[in-house]
């Protein structure tokens, strides 16, 4: 198949719409179910590149949860702790495959943003992974293949209309890429940068210790940023991105946004949140929204008389600002990547509040000395990668 006609483009009024190969070659994908749209394919192709690179960089199966051409989460298939399995709502599924663990992590990092995601998987989708996908609100999935039982599970989703795309894992795109804006064609070489340990060799801070686990997390952060709308910053910990700030005009806003998401991820693991007793018939999305309100500044909305009974069997105690800060102060070992240099030390100050101990960023700011000094203030190990990772 050399081209595929789409229902419409980014919006229903943008017709006609199609995907095709300019050289007349066959498309490297096969639609196994559903009818993916323009934005679905944008998410699918960006997501596939991300997980393929994560797998190559770490050796682990990888998954990402994409929304509007930026990842909401990305992860590798490390086993889940009992706590993570519970906050990702997969503790009732028994033993999970490595690929299923990767998607549980990618989806669970920011469940609010992942609602209605497009999924990319580095490996053949197995039944363990399909069972997680089956019960989440999602637009579709792309993978290099599907086990028969996994495909059967996924085809039953959304009344049989769930979008399932198979991609040729051996497909290699042309080295030059083009796109049009306002009728004008832009052309550039593809970003074929390989992210590996060599990027972390230049460490200008007093603390130069970056252990292997942190190198994995920094690689996850940078590969995630490579496919995130810029400006962007990513926090990573334990084999997954835990906070992604995408498409902000200033670096500090990226750092704050991603840091708040990382904080929410960690607050979900606090005893106060783990001890919440939800009513039996609460929907998954309502449960996520309620937790988000409970750990945020709007917590009184869900504790008000006449409201809390909708969500909880027992009225929860107030999660005070002081209690939240005390819990966040136990957050350690977090890695941070940035797609461009930090212009001021205020980014490091904010990162420190979310347990960041390792940083990878291009460097090259006229205020590098201030950034290094702020890292040294908190004993943070920082690497200058000398590589910018803008994605537009």
On whether the CB atoms of residues 321 and 345 are closer than 8 A, the answer is no
In angstroms, the CA 187 to CA 189 distance is 7
In angstroms, the CA 358 to CA 336 distance is 6
Tokens representing residue 97 in the block: 């495959």
On whether the CB atoms of residues 218 and 235 are closer than 8 A, the answer is no
Tokens representing residue 156 in the block: 């039953």
Give which of 132, 143, 138, 141 is closest to 158, Cα–Cα: 138
Which of 159, 170, 332, 392 is catalytic? The answer is 392
In angstroms, the CA 169 to CA 144 distance is 6
Which of 46, 231, 264, 347 is catalytic? The answer is 231
How many CB atoms are located within 10 Å of the residue 120 CB? 32
231 catalytic? Reply is: yes
Question: Taken in order 243, 353, 60, 338, is the CA torsion positive or negative?
Answer: positive
Judged by DSSP in three states, 143 sits in: strand
Cα 50–chain centre separation: 10
Each residue of 312-347: b (16+ CB within 10 Å) or e? beeebeebeeeebeebbeebeebbbbbbbbbbebbb
β-pairing, 117-121 vs 70-76, is unpaired
377 catalytic? Reply is: no
Judged by DSSP in three states, 327 sits in: helix
Residue 146's DSSP bridge partners are 125
Say how many residues make up the chain: 392
On whether the CB atoms of residues 109 and 75 are closer than 8 A, the answer is yes
Which of 52, 55, 67, 352 is catalytic? The answer is 67
List CB contacts of 278: < 8 A, sequence separation 6 or more: 287, 290, 311, 312, 313
Q: What is the DSSP letter of 146?
A: B
Element (H, E) at 225: helix 212-226
7 catalytic? Reply is: no
- Please compute, for residue 78, the number of CA atoms within 13 A of its CA located in the half-sphere on the CB side: 19
Active site residues: 67-68, 231, 392
């Amino acid at each position: 198949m050399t081209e595929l006609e789409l229902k419409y483009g980014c919006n229903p009024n943008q017709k006609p719409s199609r995907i095709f190969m300019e050289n007349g070659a066959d498309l490297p994908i096969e639609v196994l179910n559903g009818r993916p749209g323009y934005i679905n394919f944008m998410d699918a192709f960006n997501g596939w590149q991300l997980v393929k690179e994560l797998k190559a960089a770490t050796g682990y199966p990888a998954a990402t949860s994409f929304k509007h051409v930026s990842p909401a989460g990305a992860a590798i298939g490390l086993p889940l702790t009992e706590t993570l399995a519970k906050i990702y709502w997969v503790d009732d599924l028994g033993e999970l495959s490595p690929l299923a663990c990767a998607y549980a992590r990618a989806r669970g990092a920011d469940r609010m943003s992942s609602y209605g995601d497009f999924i990319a998987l580095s490996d053949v989708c197995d039944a363990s992974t399909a069972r997680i996908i089956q019960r989440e609100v999602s637009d579709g999935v792309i993978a290099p293949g599907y086990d028969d039982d996994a495909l059967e599970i996924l085809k039953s989703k959304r009344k049989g209309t769930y979008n399932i795309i198979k991609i040729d894992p051996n497909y290699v795109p042309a080295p030059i890429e083009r796109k049009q804006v306002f009728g004008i064609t832009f052309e550039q070489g593809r970003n074929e940068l390989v992210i590996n340990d060599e990027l972390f060799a230049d460490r200008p801070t007093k603390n130069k210790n970056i252990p292997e686990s942190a190198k994995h997390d920094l690689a996850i952060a940078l590969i995630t940023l490579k496919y995130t709308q810029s400006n962007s910053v990513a926090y990573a910990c334990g084999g997954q991105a835990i906070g992604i700030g995408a498409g902000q005009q200033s670096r500090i806003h990226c750092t704050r946004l991603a840091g708040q998401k990382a904080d929410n991820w960690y607050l979900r693991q606090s005893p106060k949140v783990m001890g919440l007793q939800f009513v039996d018939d609460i929907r998954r999305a309502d449960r996520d929204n309620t937790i988000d309100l409970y750990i945020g500044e709007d917590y009184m909305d869900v504790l008000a008389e006449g409201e809390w009974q909708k969500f909880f069997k027992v009225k929860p105690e107030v999660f005070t600002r002081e209690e939240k800060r005390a819990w966040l102060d136990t957050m350690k070992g977090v890695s941070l990547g940035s797609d461009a240099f930090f212009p001021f030390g205020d980014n490091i100050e904010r990162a420190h509040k979310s347990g960041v101990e390792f940083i990878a960023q291009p460097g090259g700011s006229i205020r590098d000395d201030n950034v290094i000094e702020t890292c040294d203030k908190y004993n943070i190990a920082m690497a200058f990668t000398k590589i910018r990772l803008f994605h537009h």
